Amino acid sequence: MRLLIEIGVEELPAIPFLKEYKNILPKWQKVLEKFEIKADFSFDFTPRRMVLDSSNFPNKQDDKVVEQIGAPKRIAIKDGIWSKAAVSFAKKCGIDEDKLGFKKIGNDEFLYYEYTQKGKDVKEILSDMINDFLKELHFGKEMRWGNGEFEFIRPIRSLAVCLDNENVEMQIYGVRSKLAFYPHRSFGYDLVEFKSADEYYEKLAKNGIILNSKKREEKILNEFKNLEKNNSFEIEKDKDLLNEVIAITEHPTALKGEFDKEFLNVPDEVIITSMKENQRYFPVFNNGKLTNNFVFVSNAVCDDDSLIVNGNERVLKARLSDAMFFWQSDLKNGLNPDSLKNVLYIKELGSIYDKELREIKIALNLAKLYKNELEKEVGKEYEKLLERAIILSKADLTTLMVDEFGELQGIMGSYYAKTMGENENIVKAIKEQYLPDGEKSELPSSIFSSIVALSFKLDSLMGLFSVGKIPSGTKDPYALRRAANGIIKIVLNKNLNFNLNKILEEISPNYTKFDLQILQDFIFDRLNTVYDANISIINACLKSGESDIKNLNNSILALDEISKKESFKENFSTFKRLANIIKDEKIKKVDDSLISQNAERELNNAFNSLKLDLKDSESYLNELFGLKEKIDKFFDEIMINVDDESLKANRIAIIGQIYNSFLKVADIKEISF
């Protein structure tokens, strides 16, 4: 049978809908499973309708055999007489006692009755199915309407449930089903009736609705291409913005507008942010340079688009006029770090200005580690430049522009610092202080900028951990996981030696005392998000006790690479056995005078002749793995658990020194495949 369901709603907000979008069809499939219905469905949507469609929907649930199991036989019947438990079981099953039987389960027999339960007609259960489905959809904040009895992301205004060519009568969320839908607003406001699923799709198209989101996307992109060809410009096709536009249109049309060139005096980021965030407009470029054109997607269906274009131009002009005012006012006022003394960061941690002072202390501490690199980049005045960069870094938080466009913090500060004549390294560091700000984000471009960015992240982590604001579960209101990720990515990108344990210890006097190991573990846990490696390899390297991020990186990459070789599993088996033998043993120094057997002498000599250099983790590990044959021979020929305790301890020491050497890179006991 053909089943088509349309749930008509008021305009769905794009962002919360798109977050739930990928879950919608799976949630309907779960409802099907709950009601024991097998059918394939497609899902399509516009901002005013959600549509489920199946061409193989059954007319009823499958019949099924239901088993009822009661008391053990020894309780159910005695001397041929049914007990109260058996009579009660028969009554529960709706049968006479003489129809009761027994079934062996394990070593015992139990009262047993089975019957065939007829499947329900789908018309009887569709209402419950749709109700359950709607209750499973979670878009965030929901609305109440009517008498306040119902809640959904937006009020439901129509419901069509078409089973073959028949309306399945029901009432959902106060709306009675009817084979009808609302057309595109340009085509009218009255319901359009239909008699079948095929007619539904025909009439949708005739009434201005492009139901399939992929077809709406194709239409938009084709029109973008034509606009680019006819106007010799390039449209910035932001994927997230495109998805939003697809989600808020039923019949999209791409149109071009323009604004006064004088607005191009405002920084590009401001114009682009205003277009995208406020209006969902697409910026336009010519040879990489922002132009005074823009492209937007209209949902209107009309013969003359000029009124729509003019209206959107007026709206953007008003937005950009505000931005121009903010820009000019901020330029007059400049950056004023003292204003941050009145801006609270966290109650227990003081103002933003206080935060900057702590960041300066961290930066000067880090500067000692990278003195040569800093002098080469910015000169001998690097300490003064770092102090100036950080004290100016958050001053744009009190500007009009950042008050309006919070996402431009740092970016606007760099523009204002440049107009104030600040050093170019300071300007760049202010702009890059929050990087990386996402999974695919750029990273600070210099050591100088990296130190400013690291200081910001380290202070955020140290400060918030010190006052107990530690992320738990999925909650991370201060983006501390992102800060930890950022530290790791910056350090690796710039190939910096960064002993986390030592650095945290050195900067800790600036904060309320807390267990630094908790923070170190938190940061190192983020390594799992940085590498596409076996997690047990990462954990094994962490167990080495190494706290320098660069060294850890070398160990993880080397061990991961070696683990992909065919020979690794055999090597791994040998070394895992070695590790397990000395698991709880105290390892002493090898006493050569106690070595009497060739196998133990050969292994000890081979180990002592190794050239182990921790600076090259892969070579280091390969040297150790080269001992495999001699370790195997040792295990084959040497008895470790002998009565002579001195001899036993010495043999453990021979293999223990190998394990301890491996432990400088990773604890092999932690690795699993």
Residue 249 burial (C-beta neighbours within 10 Å; 0-12, 13-18, 19+): buried
Element (H, E) at 53: strand 49-54
CA–CA separation, 635 vs 255, rounded Å?
78
Residue 121 per-residue DSSP state: B
- Long-range contacts formed by 330-335: CB under 8 A, 24+ apart: 330/396, 330/399, 330/400, 330/401, 330/412, 330/416, 331/416, 331/419, 333/399, 334/416, 334/419, 334/420, 335/392, 335/395, 335/396, 335/399, 335/413, 335/416, 335/417, 335/420
Structure-block tokens of residue 182: 């609302």
pLDDT band at 581 (very low <50, low <70, confident <90, very high): confident
Is 479's pLDDT higher than 90? yes
Cβ count within 10 A of residue 583:
8
Q: Which alpha helices (H) appear in 395-446, and where do they start and end?
A: 400-404, 411-419, 424-432
Residue corresponding to tokens 């008498």: 147
pLDDT digits (tens, 9 = 90+) for 525-577: 999 888 888 899 999 999 999 999 999 999 999 999 998 888 888 888 899 89
Span 28-49, average pLDDT:
96
> Could you tell me which of 420, 411, 405, 495 has the C-alpha nearest to residue 450?
495
Span 233-251, average pLDDT:
97
What is the rounded radius of gyration, in angstroms, for the C-alpha atoms of the chain? 35
- What's the number of CA atoms in the CB half-sphere (13 Å) around residue 588? 12
CA–CA separation, 39 vs 28, rounded Å?
11
Residue 508 per-residue DSSP state: G
Output the CA–CA distances (angstroms, integers) from residue 427 to 121, 326, 386, 424, in the order listed: 71, 20, 11, 5
What distance, in Å, lies between the first and last C-alpha atoms of the chain? Answer: 48
Residue 340 neighbours by CB under 8 Å, 6+ apart: 351, 352, 353, 356, 394, 395, 397, 398
pLDDT band at 494 (very low <50, low <70, confident <90, very high): very high
Output the CA–CA distances (angstroms, integers) from residue 266 to 26, 31, 151, 274, 424, in the order listed: 46, 53, 44, 11, 20
What the chain holds in terms of domains, given with CATH numbers, is 3-60+121-206 (no CATH), 64-117 (no CATH), 213-319 (no CATH), 337-530 (1.10.3210), 553-670 (1.10.730)
pLDDT digits (tens, 9 = 90+) for 588-626: 899 999 998 999 999 999 999 998 888 889 899 999 999
Is 462's pLDDT higher than 90? yes
What pLDDT is recorded for position 621?
Answer: 92
> Could you tell me which of 566, 544, 570, 569 has the C-alpha nearest to residue 555?
544
Residue 639, φ and ψ in degrees, nearest 5: -90, 120
The answer to whether the CB of 576 falls within 8 A of the CB of 562 is: no
Among 245-249, 312-316, 389-393, 555-559, where is mean pLDDT lowest? 555-559
User: Helix, strand or coil for residue 439?
Assistant: coil
Is 197's pLDDT higher than 90? yes
CA–CA separation, 579 vs 543, rounded Å?
13
Residue 304 burial (C-beta neighbours within 10 Å; 0-12, 13-18, 19+): exposed
pLDDT digits (tens, 9 = 90+) for 204-232: 999 999 999 999 999 999 999 999 999 99
* Partners of 181 in the β-ladder: 192
86: left (phi > 0), else alpha (psi -120 to 50), else beta? alpha
Is 585's pLDDT higher than 80? no
What size, in residues, is the chain? 673
CA–CA separation, 659 vs 669, rounded Å?
10
pLDDT digits (tens, 9 = 90+) for 138-195: 998 889 987 778 899 999 999 999 999 999 999 999 999 999 999 999 999 999 999 9
Is 520's pLDDT higher than 90? yes
Among 78-82, 258-262, 396-400, 460-464, where is mean pLDDT lowest? 78-82
What pLDDT is recorded for position 439?
Answer: 84
What pLDDT is recorded for position 452?
Answer: 98
What pLDDT is recorded for position 404?
Answer: 95
What pLDDT is recorded for position 264?
Answer: 98
Span 228-237, average pLDDT:
97
Mean pLDDT score across all residues of the chain:
94
The answer to whether the CB of 320 falls within 8 A of the CB of 266 is: yes
- Long-range contacts formed by 119-125: CB under 8 A, 24+ apart: 119/36, 119/60, 119/61, 119/62, 119/63, 119/64, 120/60, 120/61, 121/59, 121/60, 122/1, 122/3, 122/37, 122/57, 122/58, 122/59, 122/60, 122/61, 122/163, 123/163, 123/168, 125/35, 125/61
Structure-block tokens of residue 61: 């649930």
Among 40-54, 83-97, 156-170, where is mean pLDDT lowest? 83-97
Strands (E), 108-229: 108-117, 143-145, 150-152, 156-163, 166-167, 171-172, 175-176, 180-181, 192-193
CA–CA separation, 621 vs 183, rounded Å?
69
What pLDDT is recorded for position 64?
Answer: 85
What pLDDT is recorded for position 529?
Answer: 85
What pLDDT is recorded for position 566?
Answer: 84
Scored b (16 or more CB within 10 A) or e, 542-551 reads: bebebbbbbb
> Could you tell me which of 384, 424, 392 has the C-alpha nearest to residue 409?
392
CA–CA separation, 253 vs 224, rounded Å?
9
For the chain, what is the total number of helices (H) and then of strands (E)? 27, 22
What pLDDT is recorded for position 673?
Answer: 72
What pLDDT is recorded for position 163?
Answer: 96
Span 408-414, average pLDDT:
98
CA–CA separation, 490 vs 143, rounded Å?
44
